[in-house]
Amino acid sequence: MDGDKGTSALSKGSKTKAKILKTALKLFSTKGYKATTVRDIAGAMGVKQSALYNHFKNKDEILETLIGDLTSSAIVHLFDDRDPHEAAKSGKALLAGIGTKFKLLSFDGQNEALYKLLMQEMFRNERVREIYNEHFYQENVKKLSTYLFMMMQEELIRSSDPLMLANEFFAPLFFYQMQVSLLKQDKKSTSSVVSLFEKHVEFFWESIRIEKKESLF
Amino acid sequence: MDGDKGTSALSKGSKTKAKILKTALKLFSTKGYKATTVRDIAGAMGVKQSALYNHFKNKDEILETLIGDLTSSAIVHLFDDRDPHEAAKSGKALLAGIGTKFKLLSFDGQNEALYKLLMQEMFRNERVREIYNEHFYQENVKKLSTYLFMMMQEELIRSSDPLMLANEFFAPLFFYQMQVSLLKQDKKSTSSVVSLFEKHVEFFWESIRIEKKESLF
DNA sequence: AAATTATATGAACAAATGTTCATATTTAAG
DNA sequence: CTTAAATATGAACATTTGTTCATATAATTT
C-alpha cells in the first residue's frame, strides 16, 4: 500500500496520493495550514475538491500524514551512521560536514517546505512540537555532544561541557537556515548568509580546538 | 485620541481597545491568527463579537495594529542608548547585558506572545518578515557589530569579521529564546536552557577575547 | 436634567469552508 | 469484452466565520 516510492510501476492511486501531499505541503508551508483550503489544494493540482476525499479522510489527515513524514525527513537525520569513533577522530571535518549538510538542506525545496511547516505549526500543534524537540533537536544535539566528548578524550578539542558546545554549534546553523528560508521567500540574495555557514564552522572550531603542541620544532 | 498610554485618566474607550489587543495577542500567539475567530476574542473578554467593531474596522486591523506595535516592542530594542564608546569599552559586560536581556525577555509574558506571533506570521506575512528583518535582526546585528569593531580597536578582542561575530553572538540567543518559548508552552522545565544563555556569553567571550599580556609578571 | 457621544447587544446575512454522496468516468483484472 | 475496483465529478449540505446594522445602554458633556 505505501512505501515503495521510486518504483515506476506504482499504481496511479498512490501517485495521486503523493501528489496531494506534495501540493498540500507547498501550500501549507506558504500560506499556513489553516489558511489553506481544500479547494486550494485541489485547484493547484487541477482536480475538484471532492476527489481528495478518496485518498484522505479529511483535511486534518493530510496534515497528520505530512507531520508523520517529518520524522523520516532529512532534517532529522543530520549524521551519517558511520562509526562514531572514526567520526569523532575526524574532528573539524565532522563539524564541517554537518555545516555543509545544513547549508544544502536550506536550498532543497522539499526540505525547505518541511522546515517552514515545522516552524509555523510548532507553536500551535503539540505533536509537531514533540517531533521537533525529540527528533530534530534533542537527538541531534545529544549525538553531537557525544562526538564532542570523544574529541575531548582524543585531545582534539579543549575539555568543557559537551552539551553546551553541541548547542552552541547547533543554534547558529538552525538560525542561518531560518534566515535563508526567509530571504528566499522574498527572492532576496542569500549569499551573505550562505557564507555564514562556513564561517560558523571555522569560528567554532577555532574556539574549541587545542593548538597543536609546538613539540615538532 | 491615541498615545498617552500610562495615564490613569484614560478614557474607558482606549482601555477597551487595549484589552482587545491584549486578548487578541494572547490568542493569536497561541492558536495562530487565522485559527482565532472574532468570537474567540470577544468571548475571552466577556463581550459579544459585534462590540469589537466599534474599536477596529475588522479582524485584519487588529493584527495590523499588533504588528505595528512590534516595531516599538522591547525585542527590537536590545541596546540601551548609552554612549557607544563607553559601551564598547565595557567589553564582556556589554555582551553579558545583552545575554541577560534576552533571557529576561523570554520570561516576559507580553514579549513572549509577541515573539510567538512574530515567529508564526513571519513565514506568511511579508510585512512581519520585513519588521523582523529590519528592526529585529539587521538593526541589532549591525549595532552589535560596530560595538565589536570598537572592541577590536581597543584590543579587547581579537581582530576578525565583526558582522560574522555579531551573527554568532546573536544566533544562539535567538535560538534559546525560541527553546524557552516552546518548553513553556508545554509547561516543561526551562532551567537547562536558561543556563545556556549565560554559558553562551561565557563561551563566546572566551573565544574572542585577547588574553591579558603577562607583561605584569 | 437633557443632550450627545461612545460603546454594547442581538439578530441577521453572505461568503467561505469542510464534508458527503449519488453518479459518472477511468483503470485494472478476469 | 465484461466485470470489478478505483478515482473523479457536480451538486448539495451544515457550519463556521467575518461583518453589518438598527437599537439599546452606559458615559460624558453641556
Distance B52 CA to D14 C1' (A): 27
Average pLDDT, chain B: 90
Helix (H, G, I), strand (E, B) or coil at B209: strand
Residues of A in contact with B114 (CB under 8 A): none
Rounded Cα–Cα distance for residues B61 and B59 (Å)? 5
Contact B10, B4 (CB under 8 A): yes
Task: Please answer yes or no on whether A132 and B200 come within 8 Å at the CB atom.
Answer: no
Q: Do residue A30 and residue B165 have CB atoms under 8 angstroms apart? A: no
Placement of cell 560558523 in the chain = A200
Task: Report the C-alpha gap between A208 and A144 in whole angstroms.
Answer: 14
Alpha-carbon distance B115 to nearest alpha carbon in chain A (angstroms) = 11
Least confident of A67-81, B135-149, B186-200: A67-81
**pLDDT of B188 strictly over 50:** yes
Q: Is B157 helix (H, G, I), strand (E, B) or coil?
A: strand
pLDDT of residue B31: 96
Residue A87 CA to nucleotide C22 C1', Å? 62
Range B189-192, long-range pairs (CB < 8 A, 24+ positions): B190/B106
Q: Is a pLDDT exceeding 90 seen at residue B83?
A: no
Distances (CA, A) of A120 to A45, A116, A139, A152, B110: 23, 6, 21, 37, 20
Chain B's closest residue to A132, CA to CA, is B182
Average pLDDT, chain A: 90
Separation of CA A174 from chain center: 9
Q: Which residue is nearest to nucleotide D5 (CA to C1')?
A: A13
A63-77, A99-113, B71-85, B165-179: the lowest-pLDDT one = B71-85
Helices A191-208, B191-208: crossing angle, 10 deg rounding? 80
Q: What is the per-residue pLDDT across A22-47, written as a single tens digit (0 to 9) for each?
A: 999 999 999 999 999 999 999 999 99
- How many Å lie between the alpha carbon of A120 and the closest alpha carbon of chain B? 5
Residue B50 CB lies within 7 Å of the nucleic strand C: yes
Work out the percent of chain B whose per-residue pLDDT is above 70.
91
CA nearest to A151, candidates A86, A99, A79, A216: A86
pLDDT band at B216 (very low <50, low <70, confident <90, very high): low
Q: Which nucleotides of D are covered by protein (CB under 7 A)?
A: 6-11, 16-22, 27-28
Nucleotides on chain C that have an atom closer than 7 A to a protein CB are 6-11, 16-22, 27-28
Mean pLDDT over residues B6-11, rounded? 36
B34 with A34: Cβ contact below 8 A: yes
Q: Cell 544566533 belongs to which residue?
A: B171
- pLDDT for A138-194, tens place per residue? 999 999 999 999 999 999 999 999 999 999 999 999 999 999 999 999 999 999 999
Q: Give mean pLDDT, residues B29-49.
A: 97
Write the DSSP assignment of A155-198 as a string of letters: TSB--S-HHHHHHHHHHHHHHHHHHHHHHHHTT---HHHHHHHH
As a dihedral over the C-alpha atoms of residue A190, residue A192, residue A194, residue A197, rounded to 10 degrees, the angle is -150
B54: the nucleotide nearest its CA (via C1') is: C7
pLDDT of residue A9 exceeding 60: no
Per-residue pLDDT band for B3 (boundaries 50, 70, 90) equals very low
Paired residues of B157 in beta bridges: B209
Residue A108: its pLDDT value, please? 95
d(CA B208, CA B201): 11
Q: Is the dihedral of CA A129, A135, A139, A144 positive or negative?
A: negative
